[in-house]
Copies of this chain bind each other. A is one copy, B any other.
Amino acid sequence: MAAKKKGGAKQGTGRSAEASKPRPAQRGEAERSLKPARGAAAQQATRHATDVQARNRKLDAVTVSAIEESASGVHEKILKKGKPDLAFPIRSLQNVSYSQQRGYFEIGRQKKTRTLTVNTVKSFAQTLRMMGLSKQLVRTNDFATKRDAYYQSKNWEEARFDEQAESDAVMDDIEALFSVRGVSREQLRFIPDEHGGAVAGNLIVLDPDRESGAVERIDCTRFGSGAYSIPSTVEHLSFETDAKFILAIETGGVFQRLQSHKFWQTANCILVSMAGVPTRATRRFIRKLSDECKLPVFAFVDCDPYGISNIYRTLKVGSGNAAHLSQFFCVPQARFLGVTPADIREYRLPTHPLLDVDIKRARDALKNDPFFKTHKPWQKAMNELLEMGVRAEQQALAKWGLNYVIDEYLPRKLANPAQFLP
């Protein structure tokens, strides 16, 4: 199909009207191996496409009505000559709660109210325009990053933003506002500027075309030494897999080793490269995949306060200043495979001394972080690390051979998932 043209002209056509339009033949489809699925698989794909469209239409309707309701409230108040206001949840660690049962950081009930006055007229207008942008994006089945939204505002005349920090804050507020009603930022069509991580393994990703709805079947066993790169938004994806677990890996180096040696085949799993603190798209992808396919998630990161309290904690329960996103983005079912402080001793790993910043981070986590305050085994592990005064990288296992991680470490660990840290 043609590339999507400017939004306005297609209002309301998006997914639904073009749903049954077949995907035109493309270069390469003459090749037998590249033909679209037929027979049973084709029927399944069509069914799936229909399901996804129905679900998306429903989500879009919920989103638009949530936006319209907020806007109507403001409008009616104005008609009654009152001072309209909007109440946004406060986004900070002070307004966050954590319960083991829920499994993620939840935003609390504290709110800040933005009332329309002479002083707030600009930010109030900006908030409404940003909500209007979201509605327009839903209608045209398009999306915007924070940066896109900032530059879009340059055409909003007096309501334009002078700094991206301002428009980012307004977008975050709107996300928080609607998150309370269960509407995610992806439903608002706001997407992260960053890409997702890389994926390889026993997984087929089903990705319906944004215009025709035709489903692309992406087989993550078939990327050779490469990998599947997670898109910025993953709401529309679904999955087929008989893998046993998801292995979320901190470094590109270890991911490449496991991928090149087809560890996903030996262990029947799905490998995800987080490349440091996982992006929102990566976290959401892991969460959706784990939820929908009932797969356990094991994290394999460096043994240092950063790997534990930033990478793993963020993956599992979310982060303090974006707790309104946790319900969608965190992976509460994640467990910590390693590298653990006990591994450093057991495998006699080469270490580096903890830096001041590491020590500070670990102490902060023990003192202030609701996640670590809840989990005794983590307090023990973190204190152990502080006592040892060292950290170890996951690649330190290479001391025993480049493929020791594949041949010894991971198989031993995976034989006892009950021993993983929470």
Say yes or no: is A175 at the interface (Cβ < 8 Å to chain B): no
Interface size of A in residues (CB-CB distance below 8 Å): 91
Contact yes or no, B216 A224, CB < 8 A: yes
Contact yes or no, A252 B194, CB < 8 A: yes
Q: Please report which residues of chain A, range 209-227, place their CB below 8 angstroms from some CB of chain B when the two chains form the complex.
A: 209-210, 216-219, 221-227
Residues of B with C-beta under 8 A to A262: 1, 3-4
Residues of B with C-beta under 8 A to A397: 151
Return the chain B residue nearest A404 by Cβ: B6
Pick the contact of A207 from B152, B194, B224, B404 — CB < 8 Å? B224
Cα A374 to Cα B260 in complex, Å, equals 42
Say yes or no: is A256 at the interface (Cβ < 8 Å to chain B): yes
Q: Which of A225, A265, A395 has the most CB of B within 10 A?
A: A225
Pick the contact of A7 from B151, B155, B217, B402 — CB < 8 Å? B402
Pick the contact of A41 from B2, B31, B257, B402 — CB < 8 Å? B31
Contact yes or no, B252 A4, CB < 8 A: no
Q: Distance (Å) between the CB of A256 and the closest chain B CB?
A: 5
Pick the contact of A195 from B7, B151, B275, B404 — CB < 8 Å? B275
Residues of B with C-beta under 8 A to A193: 251-253
Say yes or no: A261-B3 contact (C-beta < 8 A), given A26-B221, A152-B398, A398-B151.
yes
Residues of B with C-beta under 8 A to A400: 155
Cα A144 to Cα B154 in complex, Å, equals 48
Contact yes or no, B210 A260, CB < 8 A: yes
Residues of B with C-beta under 8 A to A401: 6-7, 152
Contact yes or no, A5 B147, CB < 8 A: no
Pick the contact of A223 from B154, B218, B253 — CB < 8 Å? B218
Pick the contact of A35 from B33, B226, B227 — CB < 8 Å? B33
Contact yes or no, A256 B191, CB < 8 A: yes
Q: Distance (Å) between the CB of A252 and the closest chain B CB?
A: 4
Pick the contact of A260 from B143, B202, B237 — CB < 8 Å? B143
Interface on A for B, CB 8 Å cutoff?
1-7, 26-28, 31-39, 41, 142-145, 147-148, 151-152, 154-155, 191, 193-195, 198, 202, 204-205, 207-210, 216-219, 221-233, 236-237, 242, 251-253, 255-257, 259-263, 265-266, 273, 275, 350, 393, 395-404, 406-407
